[in-house]
Amino acid sequence: MYIHQHICISPQQTNGVVDLEIINSSQDGKLLAIEPQLQGVPPSMLRRMSKAVRMGMGAGLPLINEKNIDGIIIGTANGGMEDCIRFLNQIIDYDEGLLTPANFVQSTPNAIAGQLSLITKNRTYNATHVHNGLAFENALTDARMSLLEKPGTQYLVGGVDEISSYNYNIDYLAGWYDKTKSNDDLYSTHTPGTIAGEGAAMFIINDIADNAFGKIEAIDAFQSTDKEQVEARFKNFLDSYIPDTNHTLLISGENGDSRFLPAYATCEFAIGSSIPVARFKHLTGEYPTSSSFALWLACHAFHEQGLPAHFYKNEHNLTQIDRAILYNQYQGKQHSFILVSR
Amino acid sequence: MSRIVVTGIGIITAIGTTADENRDSLVHAKTGIGKARFFNSRYTAHLPFGEINQATEQLAERLGIENNTATRTDLLALHAAKQAITDANLSKEDLSGSDTALIGGSTVGGMCLTDEMYADANATGISNSPYLTSYSNSANTSFLQLYFNIGGLINTFNTACSSSANAIMYGARLLKNGVAKRVIAGGVDSLSKYTVNGFNALMILSGEPCKPFDRERKGLNLGEGAAFLILEREEDASGKKIYAEVKGYGNSNDAFHPSSTSAEGEGPYLSMKRALDIAGLSPAAIDFINAHGTATENNDETESAAMLRLFDQAPAFASTKSYTGHTLGAAGAVEAVYSILSLQHQEVYSSLHFKDAIDSTGLKPVTQYEKRDLNHVMSNSFGFGGNCTSLIFSKM
């Protein structure tokens, strides 16, 4: 399957005029996405939208308006969590009194795909995958199957997640975040915890090779807490799909949390030191569907035939990029490998 | 193209903890809707619920689960998935293979712990909460993955009330496309303050047992439940007991309103039509519809309108939500099991509390249990956000 148009909303300059040389800094351990300017959304609707929905509209609406879309397939772990916690707070604070339903209706994770469909009057296939760190990978698998079932169709596929007071606080208490860390030196502090992030990256995906930004060759997504299993599956992935590793880039989801370095290191070692490693979470922070940003970054790297120096983990002499392998894992439990080629 | 078959079923609802118990209640028109005993909410005083007749601690004990982080949602899912896995004789090796997929669907997920989540989301300083990883709407799928050591693709759908219908649809497609060899697909939801208050705020909860498709219907009753199916390709299931074929599935978005369906039932019409197209069946081939039939003002009228548009003559239909209540994300899988039981035993179950047809449609559901020749049964599930899904199960 081939990637055509794409839009990426993130904490950095990725939407509209792309500039990855300048890096916006994190504040208090968070990287907030730059708000999109929404076109064609009624103000009454806009007022009710959570940031996840606004980011989803900002990335998705321009793409749908350009194309005939045969399905809207979204991966989001949390959807509109901010609305969820607002409603939850109402329930407790008003002791289950008569509440207003707006936050409740907006809080369902399928609000993003639902609103995209509603605004564009698109009544095609509509799916919301919410399996945490594998939500976006499942959305891609869904699109791949859809293309096999109906050649000649095309899909809007995206990954969206927001930082909400809810998930930030609960994940913070669970030890996933460290408020003292920043994206200036994310990879040099060898301690647990990382910075929180958010974003939305969406793609038009079809089976037409002409003028495509990239081709998704293979996906492997699984759950495991065993480093050996991750290594075995990665080696198997390389053996199955990557005959030669010339002009190849490894895009790594390394996030500065010392607990997960071994898993990333294992994969870097397995592929060999001649393959340059590019990291991206100093731009995005950590969130469950961040692999959608990594896929956007791969397309950007193909287009530019390079990336700014700050992405690279080590010195490299890569002058041509034909292939990118994305390895991302979430909270040590969920792992995915995605192979994209030019 | 190989046929996708159901080789195992598991279910727990307000009308039974096994498929047999559920069927017995359906055959004898015994509803599970009544006063909730275990669910803690102000609304239990004056609203009826489809509650499962077991305390959470009791569920945990019966399943031998000792960790205190498992939510009621996790336990209900485990109860149903365990049954289905046993029913289909899946071995440990089957489960851990990379060709076994697990697809869940849930609306409320771990948010059944409304009070605990409130405390943790607003906590400052150190929390010793055991539930920090339990709240997500995929937590129950991960819980099952860990318990059974499932080695293949793992996914969770949340398309509100069509979540587990989409999980079954996705599961069938994984098999057809060779992404998996075995699929455990279904869904779960438990009663929660979150959903009760949400639906109450929308003013669509009925103070009396619900009356699907009745002119005087007053809204829905919330229920809880879990159901899972084991799906395999026909050629891989030789020698196994086969319940039914998953013949068709269709999905559409109604694109009208976040929490109601368009008057002409555009989304329901399209999801039913697409399911027929995949099945290669004409509308006349459908012998029975297990309707979404929530008993809200909006759903029953628009679902009826869609049926009248698609079918020259509407097939026999009923809503089993008059037995279980609306089990939200679990409804698609629960009603898939009921559709399969109907096919297996060649019988249809009555819709309860129906008196008079809706004026604009004149459609009357089946109101008596009866034996009936059935080849193809359709099951509808429509959710907030405009998500509509229809499944078709067929006799082998």
Q: Annotate A248-308 with DSSP letters as a single string.
A: EEEEE---SBGGGHHHHHHHHHHH-TTS-EEE-HHHH-B-TTTHHHHHHHHHHHHHHTS--
Q: Check residue A82 and give its pLDDT.
A: 80
Q: Check residue A326 and give its pLDDT.
A: 98
CA atoms within 13 A on the CB side of B116: 19
With a cut of 80, say whether residue B324 has pLDDT above it. Answer: yes
Q: Check residue A46 and give its pLDDT.
A: 87
Tokens representing B213 are 């498709």
Q: What is the DSSP letter of A191?
A: B
- Tell which wins on pLDDT, A154 or B137: A154
A49 to A4, A82, A119, A244, B74: CA distances (angstroms): 28, 10, 13, 46, 30
∠ CA B127-B129-B58 to the nearest 5 degrees? 165
pLDDT by residue (tens digit) across B86-96? 999 999 999 99
**What b-and-e string marks burial along B44-78, b requiring 16 or more CB atoms within 10 Å of the CB?**
beebbbbbbebebeebbeebebeeeebbbbbbbbb
Report the length, in residues, of chain A: 342
Q: Specify the amino acid at residue A314.
A: N
CB contact A226 to B (< 8 Å)? no
With a cut of 90, say whether residue B385 has pLDDT above it. Answer: yes
Distance from CA of B43 to the nearest CA of A (A): 8
Nearest chain A alpha carbon to B104: A131
Burial class from Cβ neighbours inside 10 Å (0-12, 13-18, 19+) for residue A152 reads exposed
CB contact A225 to B (< 8 Å)? no
Question: Mean pLDDT of all residues in chain B?
Answer: 96
Q: Check residue B67 and give its pLDDT.
A: 76
pLDDT by residue (tens digit) across B145-162? 999 999 999 999 999 999
Distance from CA of B120 to the nearest CA of A (A): 6
Distance from CA of A131 to the nearest CA of B (A): 5
Q: Do B258 and A141 touch (CB under 8 A)?
A: no
User: Taking residues B14-38, what's their average pLDDT?
Assistant: 98
Rounded to the nearest angstrom, the gap between the alpha carbon of residue B28 and the centroid of all alpha carbons in its chain is 21
The residue among A104, A148, A240 with the most chain B CBs within 10 A of its CB, best to mutate, is A104
Please count the residue pairs, one from chain A and one from chain B, whose beta carbons lie less than 8 angstroms apart: 193
Residues of chain A with pLDDT under 70: none
Q: Do B135 and A170 touch (CB under 8 A)?
A: yes
As a whole number of angstroms, the distance between CA A101 and CA B198 comes to 6
User: Taking residues B64-84, what's their average pLDDT?
Assistant: 94
Nearest chain B alpha carbon to A45: B258
A174 to A241, A247, B211: CA distances (angstroms): 37, 40, 45
Tokens representing A91 are 């329930």
Q: Do B121 and A87 touch (CB under 8 A)?
A: no
Distance from CA of A52 to the nearest CA of B (A): 15
The residue among A122, A128, A144 with the most chain B CBs within 10 A of its CB, best to mutate, is A128
For A:67-106, CB contacts with B below 8 A are 72, 77-79, 84-85, 87-92, 95-96, 98-101, 104-106
Model pTM? Answer: 0.98
Rounded to the nearest angstrom, the gap between the alpha carbon of residue B17 and the centroid of all alpha carbons in its chain is 15
Q: Do A130 and B114 touch (CB under 8 A)?
A: no
**What b-and-e string marks burial along A180-189, b requiring 16 or more CB atoms within 10 Å of the CB?**
ebbbeebeeb
Q: Do A109 and B137 touch (CB under 8 A)?
A: yes
Distance from CA of A13 to the nearest CA of B (A): 30
Give the residue among B330, B83, B319 at the shortest CA–CA distance from B224.
Answer: B330
With a cut of 90, say whether residue B105 has pLDDT above it. Answer: yes
Q: Do B159 and A127 touch (CB under 8 A)?
A: yes
| Percentage, residues of chain B above pLDDT 90 | 91
